[in-house]
A = this chain, B = another copy of it.
Amino acid sequence: MIKFCLVGAGFIGPVHAANVAAHADAHLSWVIDLNLSSARTLAAKCGARASSDLGDALADPDVRAVIICTPPRTHAAIIDAAARAGKAIFCEKPVDLELAQVDACARVLAQTGVPFHVGFNRRFDPTHRALHDAIRDGEIGRPEMLILSSRDPEISPPDYVAAMPYGIFYDTMIHDFDMLRWLLDDEPVEIYARTACMLDPGENPHRDPDTAMVMLRMAKGALVHVNSSFRAVYGYDQRIEAFGAKGMLMSGNQTPTTLERHGSDGVRRDPLLHFFIDRYAESYRRELDAFIRAVESRAKPPIGIDDGRRALMIAEAGVKSARSGVPVALQA
């Protein structure tokens, strides 16, 4: 039984809290949030203790693991404190928005040797993983092209957008930058990106890019396309297509039901799941389980600090390309 402290009671926090609470080998002991009232509400649901001071939980010798769900710019300090307290760490993506900070985290992790995992949950989606495994099993031969569609139904609130310019790279496509590395078992050597502001000023007052297309070349030669939007009105559109010498694999979207409605105007199926937390519910569960099994067996958690660093490097180079209008080289 691993006792957890969860830091950050908003947004994705309750998802992880519920998964910890439901896991047979885990227990949620603490919920920490600067907003004590939020911490208390979530803690009450899961039978945990609440505090606004992370120190309280880190001082609890029963706590073995910390889940970090706070805004990205706060991650590094929490990683530092948790690592020095000897806790295993599950950190939501991105690790940070600055490479220097990620490097600092890498150093403290190396010094302390605590288990560390970055929450690139999509790797744990059953269909994406089946696609990954089919590539590894050689089903499509050498992968030659990879196409990722990664579209959110809605843009984040203006203050969230303001706090993270080019968030479509740092917060959204960073998932795809991780996926392409994982799926192809390869690193990009070049990135070219173009962005646009397609939303109305009312929806996107800061005119931060809300639409993007990216092209990458990988060290082993594959070509990759990523597209992203913050306005897929038809739902959370998440598809992957891998093309290779021997075939093609497609990981499709999810719908609430499989009902088909035949009427005189055609055949209608459900809209896609709208909310990423519904779409990836199963992957969040499986990711936590993988983390718990790693901690229990003293194995390395599946996605390490270097994975977090590499995804951020790609995002950074993508932003550089989008700003300059020319391709940017990356070191494989």
Contact = CB atoms under 8 A, between A and B. Distances in A.
Interface of A: 22, 24, 45, 126-127, 130-131, 134, 139, 142, 144-145, 147, 149, 151, 192, 194, 196, 198, 211-213, 215, 217, 221, 223-225, 227, 229, 231-235, 237, 243, 245-272, 325-327
A269 B271 contact: no
A234 to B, nearest CB: 4
Oligomer: number of copies: 4
Contacts of A269: 266-268
A258 B327 contact: no
Contacts of A251: 257-259
Contacts of A255: 267
Given A194-B217, A325-B327, A327-B192, A233 B263 contact: yes
Given A252-B258, A256-B126, A264 B234 contact: yes
A148 to B, nearest CB: 11
Nearest to A24: B45
A250 B149 CA distance: 13
A326 B321 CA distance: 11
A270 B134 CA distance: 12
A196 B267 contact: no
Nearest to A240: B259
B243 A151 contact: yes
A229 B243 contact: yes
Nearest to A192: B192
A223 B194 contact: yes
A279 to B, nearest CB: 12
16 contacts: A130-B270, A144-B211, A196-B223, A198-B221, A227-B243, A234-B248, A234-B267, A235-B262, A237-B248, A247-B261, A247-B263, A250-B262, A265-B271, A266-B270, A267-B270, A327-B327
